Homo-oligomer: A and B are copies of this chain.
Amino acid sequence: MIPTMRQLEALVLVYRHGSLTKAAAEMRVTQSAVSLLIRQIEENFQLRLFDRTTRALRPTLACKDAIPIAERILAGANGLARHMSDLVEVKAGRTTIAVSAGVASALLPRVLARYRADYPDVRVEIFDVAPDDLLPFVTAGDAELGIGSVENADTPDVKIETITHSSLSAIGIKDGRFEKASRLTWDSLEKCNLIAMRRGTRIRSQIDDALARTGRQLKPNLEVSLITTALALTAEGAGISILPAHMLPVAQFPTLAAVPLSRPAIIRHVSLVSRADFVLSPAAQRFVETTRQLLSVRRAADRRGDVSAHSSPKKTRPRIQ
C-alpha cells in the first residue's frame, strides 16, 4: 500500500530533525501524532525506518533509501499545489479566445494590451474568425471564449452576455461641424458619399434588413470587406462610413468622429460567448473582467436584462468557478 502524504511529511521531517518533537512542532501536531505516523509507515512497509533509543532516532539504511524518494514526492505535491495556485492567481495558464474580425481590430487591441499588462504570465491565443465562425468555434471547444456579435441567442449550450452595444453610426472627418451633431437620420445621408461593408457581411445584412423594414435602401458609393479599409477611406475624405460606433478605434483614427444614426436606430450588440457546460478558466474569467472594465462597468450593470444566461444553475453549494 502506498503511504499517505502525511506519513511522508513525518518521515522526512523526523529524518531532517532527528527528533519527533521538532518534527511535530513543524507539522503543527503533537509529538504523539508524529510517533503514530512513523509507526504507521513502518508497519505499512514492514520495515524499521528509525532505530529508537527512547531519546535519539537513528535512520536505518532503508530510511536513507526512502528519504530522497519521499522528498521528491513531497516536492512534486508542493509543485502541483503551487502551480494550481498560480493558475487561480493568474500567474500562469493559457486561454484561447475567438474574436470576430470587427472586434479584433476595434475592441481587442485595447483589451489585450490591458490584459497583458495585468497578467503577463498568461499565454493568450487569439483566433480572429469570420463572424459566422465565432459561435461554432466556441461550441466546438476550440476557443474558451468568443467575443463578437451573435445572432441567435437561443442555443441552450452557450452562455451569451452582451457587454456593449452601439448604434449604427456615421463616421466622418471631424470638421468642427460634423462631430457636433448628436444624431443624424438615415435620410439626411441621402446625398453623401457613403462607404459601407460589402453585401453578405453581417453588419451589412443587418443594415439592409433594418432599412428594408422602413422602406429604405442603402446606396453606398463604396463597398469594402474590411472595417479598417472603410475607416482609412473615410479618413482620406472618400466619404462617410456606416459602422457601429464601437468599431472606431479612436487611437488609430484621431481625425474621425462617430455620430449615431436614427430613424431607424439600429443597435448592434457585442457579446461574450462561452459554453454553458464549461467553467471558464481563471485566465479567461479575468479576460472577461478586463473587457467589462474597459467598456465601463456602469453601462453593463444598467442593462442586466441583456444578459441571457450568466448565473450558475446549481446553488446548493458555493461552486468553484
Contact = CB atoms under 8 A, between A and B. Distances in A.
Interface residues of A, number: 49
Contact of A84 (B6, B45, B76): B45
A88 interface: yes
Number of copies: 2
Contact of A66 (B4, B58, B80): B80
A62 B81 contact: no
A85 B51 CA distance: 19
A5 B9 CA distance: 12
Given A2-B80, A45-B81, A87 B69 contact: no
Nearest to A85: B45
A281 B60 contact: yes
Given A4-B4, A48-B320, A278 B84 contact: no
Interface string A43-55: 1011110011100
Interface of A: 1-6, 8, 42-43, 45-48, 51-53, 58, 60-62, 65-66, 69-70, 72-74, 76-81, 83-85, 87-88, 93-95, 144, 277-279, 281-282, 320-321
30 contacts: A1-B81, A2-B5, A2-B74, A2-B80, A4-B6, A42-B320, A45-B81, A47-B84, A47-B88, A48-B281, A48-B320, A51-B278, A51-B279, A52-B277, A53-B277, A60-B278, A60-B281, A61-B94, A61-B281, A62-B84, A62-B87, A62-B281, A65-B83, A66-B83, A69-B83, A70-B80, A73-B73, A73-B77, A73-B80, A76-B76
Given A3-B77, A46-B88, A53-B277, 9 more contacts: A2-B81, A48-B321, A51-B277, A60-B281, A61-B93, A62-B84, A62-B93, A66-B83, A76-B76
